[in-house]
Chain A
Amino acid sequence: MRALLSTLLIAVPVTLILTLVGMTRGMLQDSEQRARGIGADIWVRPENSSFGTSLSGAPIPEGMVKFFEMQPHVKLALGSVVQPIQGVTLGVSGVDLDKFNQMSGGLQYLEGGPPRAPDDIIVDQYYAAQEKLRPGSPLKLWNRDFRVAGVFASGKLARLILPIHQLQEILSESGKVTQIFVKLDDPKNTDSVIAELKMRVPNLQYHSMADLTSLYSVNTYAGLSAFIDVIVGIGVVIGFFVVCLSMYMAVLQRTREIGILKSLGATNGFVLRIILLEGLLLGVGGTIIGIGLSFGSWWLIATLVPASIQMAIVPEWWPIAGAITLVGAGLGALYPGLNAARHDPIEALAYE
């Protein structure tokens, strides 16, 4: 029972680490996939915008969209307004849907269709599942009542989409956009077009779609990497204390058995070794159960909040989480092990 409880407790930080890493990876991958789904070759952002915070507001004049469309090799430019509705994880995008469909190849509607009335909004399948929405469902945002016109397959632009002029009007940002997507006649011209645009309009950020993978990485988000390190550190500390306490109790419970082993010729090193080995076995068990529980986290997140949070299963972190746990378990077993090794065999044999 003691071993089972210890293993379960050790599994907690493993689950914590794998869930956090999985959420980070899942949300970055989801954002990257939706950005790629737009079908643009160049992504133009305000000069001072950061990947660590969500885009909001509309600092770019909408006229820039037309300006970009007049540049050589530019086939299409699409302005977009973004407004978060739930922290940095969930936002509404406003676009010209006809142009967006030309650029992306069109949204695939699972239910309903595009917005037709002034207060119509379309949502993706995950947001619809999370909020239990169907075409015709009412949806209140920013104290305004909307009606869900359609549910589209996720993977393009945003979870919620409004016609751009409607969102501009709501935000009082008429004639301005948050970002611009540019589609070229040939993706091979991306670098030369970016170089040209940087010369002509230097006060904007230009990213090619090839940059997306590096843009959507842990290191791009200020503080995220340190946050993960803190959680990993907490994992080591929890593992250390759980194993230390568990093995300390085990040594107390087995004092007499340690005395028996010593009376049979067990060395101090042998006694230390078996305590360390048991601690490491608890660590291995905790890692395996923790990995199993991380699938439970994944299922819970995918079931309860599929639109707000995405979690990926990250198998390459299993050995890392295992190694972290084993370090904590090994350190935790060391003190009780040394205690056990130092037991006087006569006192140990007399222990009741």
Chain B
Amino acid sequence: MNNGQPIIEVRELTKVYRVGKVEVPALRGLDLQVKAGEFLSIVGPSGSGKSTLFHIIGGLTPPSSGRVRVADRELSEASEADRTRLRKRTVAFVFQKFNLLPNLTARDNIAVARYLAGLDRKLDPEFDDTLKLLGIAQRLDHLPSALSGGEQQRVAIARAIVNHPAILLADEPTGNLDTENSKSVLEIIRGLNQRMGQTVLMITHNPEAAAYGHRTLHMRDGRIVDPN
């Protein structure tokens, strides 16, 4: 693990969603620091604000108040265009439901991420090793519907890391997988963290999965809490 400067700094972060005329606080003054190269697990019950925290760090939605600094970019004042740029190369998501584009092959799903980042759609030859490591090198020309859940999630991981983002946000990446595939995916994510120094934040409900991280944060009611 890299012990350098924090790559993510969050201070007094709040997020309030408006549902009709009702305001629903999702985050209530959250502080967080994540160092570059860290693998952080985040656990907590549903509605505790874990996904909202990811959405803000990933630039999918702006904070209501507080400061959020990600890879030297201040997101609390960033425009939508700035946050979109962040998602092109700096932050990438892996979702529980894989979220592959159903009409594109695995290869094209990965290529889309490169295209949107302004890179050549053709995959780098060096990326072949990563695809072999992920065990999908022979499955690239299949549509998602022809892949198992584990394979789809590994394609989603390949898509997430193809542009070498500084931060990987994995939102319950094993939530839809059986035990064997869950273990395989967690090993892959840990391998990316160890071998490539990828900063990883992973939401999970599973204590065994959380144990793959360097440390585990517990969230409840929009705040980080002491589990004890």
Binding site for B on A (CB under 8 A): 256-257, 259-268, 270, 344-346, 349
Taking a contact as CB atoms closer than 8 A, the residue among B80, B81, B85, B159 that contacts A264 in the complex is B159
Would you call B113 an interface residue if the criterion is a C-beta within 8 Å of the partner chain's C-beta atoms?
yes
Does more than half of chain A's interface fall in helix, strand or loop, or is it mixed? helix
Interface residues of B, CB < 8 Å — how many? Answer: 24
* CB atoms of B60 and A264 under 8 A apart: no
* CB atoms of B116 and A349 under 8 A apart: no
Binding site for A on B (CB under 8 A): 55, 58, 60-61, 80-81, 84-89, 92-93, 95, 99-102, 112-113, 116-117, 159
Given A257-B101, A270-B116, A349-B99, are A265 and B60 neighbors across the interface (CB < 8 Å)?
A: no
The docked-state distance in angstroms from the alpha carbon of A216 to that of B15 is 73
- CB contacts (< 8 Å) of B159 on chain A: these are 264
How many pairs of residues, A versus B, come closer than 8 Å at their CB atoms?
A: 49
B100 to chain A, nearest CB (A): 8
- CB contacts (< 8 Å) of A345 on chain B: these are 60-61
The docked-state distance in angstroms from the alpha carbon of A266 to that of B95 is 17
* CB atoms of B117 and A265 under 8 A apart: yes
B195 to chain A, nearest CB (A): 23
The docked-state distance in angstroms from the alpha carbon of A263 to that of B102 is 16
B149 to chain A, nearest CB (A): 17
* CB atoms of A265 and B99 under 8 A apart: no
Taking a contact as CB atoms closer than 8 A, the residue among A257, A260, A267 that contacts B81 in the complex is A267
Given A265-B88, A267-B81, A345-B60, are A260 and B116 neighbors across the interface (CB < 8 Å)?
A: no
* Complex: chain B residue closest to A259, CB-CB: B99
The docked-state distance in angstroms from the alpha carbon of A263 to that of B101 is 12
Residue of B61, B89, B92, B116 contacting most chain A CB atoms (<10 Å)? B116
Residue of A263, A267, A344 contacting most chain B CB atoms (<10 Å)? A263
Q: List 23 A-B contacts (CB under 8 A).
A: A256-B99, A257-B102, A260-B99, A260-B100, A261-B101, A261-B112, A261-B116, A262-B84, A262-B87, A263-B60, A263-B87, A263-B93, A264-B87, A264-B92, A264-B113, A265-B84, A265-B85, A265-B113, A265-B116, A267-B84, A344-B61, A345-B61, A349-B95
The docked-state distance in angstroms from the alpha carbon of A267 to that of B86 is 11
Residue of A264, A344, A345, A346 contacting most chain B CB atoms (<10 Å)? A264
B37 to chain A, nearest CB (A): 23
Taking a contact as CB atoms closer than 8 A, the residue among A263, A267, A268, A344 that contacts B99 in the complex is A263
Residue of A266, A268, A270, A344 contacting most chain B CB atoms (<10 Å)? A266
